[in-house]
Homo-oligomer: A and B are copies of this chain.
Amino acid sequence: MKRVHPGHLRSVIATNIRTLRNARGLSQQAFALEIEMDRTYLGGVERGERNVSLDNIERIAEGLGVEPWMLLRNPGGS
């Protein structure tokens, strides 16, 4: 199977979530509490360790006040 950049998307979403969460002045713990997500799970997502699911992407995006697709866009532009 051809994979241009295996797992690249994990680091993209990790960076985007961290950036947006920090921009809103929320700690990981506060944000996890707000969206009712386990803090260690959220931490894993923000480190690119978790293969986060669509439903959780939706939940995180709602908490950050952005459209879900925005979390998948390469911050460097793509």
Number of interface residues of A (CB under 8 A): 29
How many copies of this chain does the complex contain? Answer: 2
Bound Cα distance A72, B73 (Å): 10
Does A39 touch B at the CB level, under 8 Å?
no
Q: Mark A34-74, 1 if CB is under 8 A from B, else 0.
A: 01100000000000000111110111001000011111111
Once A53-B54, A62-B2 are accepted as A-B contacts, the answer to whether A9 and B78 lie under 8 Å apart by CB is: no
Q: Name A4's closest neighbour in chain B (CB-CB).
A: B62
Chain B residues near A58 (CB-CB < 8 A): 7-9
CB-based contact A54/B55 at 8 Å = no
Q: Which 3 residue pairs are nearest across A and B when measured between Cβ atoms? A: A69-B72, A9-B58, A69-B69
